[in-house]
Amino acid sequence: MDKKKYTIEELRKKIDKTKLPKHVAIIMDGNGRWAKKRFLPRNYGHQEGMERVIEIVGAASNLGIKHLSLYAFSTENWKRPMDEIQGLMKILVQYIRRELDKLHKNNVKVNIMGDIEKLPELAKEEVKRAVETTSKNTGMILNIGLNYGGRDEIIRGVKKILKDVELGKISIENINEDIFKNYLYTNGQPDPDLLIRPSGELRISNFMLYQIAYTEFWFSDILWPDFTEEHLLLSILDYQKRNRRFGGI
């Protein structure tokens, strides 16, 4: 599809609302490169990336997406320079303070994937406030990956299920895929139907490794700060053309 031929409104009309992905996951990547191309500090890219988060969360919710997972800060991101990490945490606090009322008003439920106990105190408090404030909302579930890693999530799930085995809450013989899903951060949610990765990278980067077994991938060279509702709609339109067989014919 030649995206230049269509306006945002025309793209919206082309979406088949009966075939929407129930769960869209996005690896938000390219903030640093976006800033570098403009001879700006990396945190300027992260700041602009936050604007795209606001746009895409609103667009997904308005479209009728039920679950949206965003990879914000990985377990590996602690290796970055301290000033960049501190900047990211400030942007996280800023995002929550700026957007929480709107998220709550729009019935969005915030769910955190990852170990937030390792976050700076102010960021941790704001994240907990967002989760608590929206806990009873019944609209789109917004999963935010903070200090998140796919392998870490699986190991965490294994430890939790072993503890329940020790306590006699579950027997080893009864453990299956459906039961194991209950021990993941996305407990009660469907697996992602569509995974979007901007920035030109062609890898998963330790994101939702258990959940993406049959997820459709959509890669793009667009850096995250340039990723707009238009690109979200194009990715969904492409998804709707695919034949998902789940190992069948």
The answer to whether the CB of 8 falls within 8 A of the CB of 233 is: yes
Closest to 143 (Cα-Cα) out of 75, 11, 53, 218: 53
- Give the C-alpha distances (Å, rounded to integers) separating 232 from 19, 62, 183, 249: 15, 12, 30, 28
Q: Among 2, 31, 62, 77, which one carries the catalytic annotation?
A: 77
Pick the closest to residue 36 from 198, 159, 199 (CA basis).
199
Q: Which of 29, 43, 143, 191 is catalytic?
A: 29
Give the integer Cα–Cα distance in Å for 113 and 85. 18
DSSP per-residue string spanning 4-45? GG--HHHHHHHS-GGG--SEEEEE---HHHHHHHTT--HHHH
Respond yes or no: is residue 77 known to be catalytic. yes
Beta carbons within 8 Å of 9's beta carbon, 6+ residues apart: none
Burial 164-194 (b: 16+ CB within 10 A, else e): beeeeebeeeeeeeeeebebbbbeebebbbb
**Annotation marks residue 206 as catalytic:** no
List residues with catalytic annotation: 29, 77
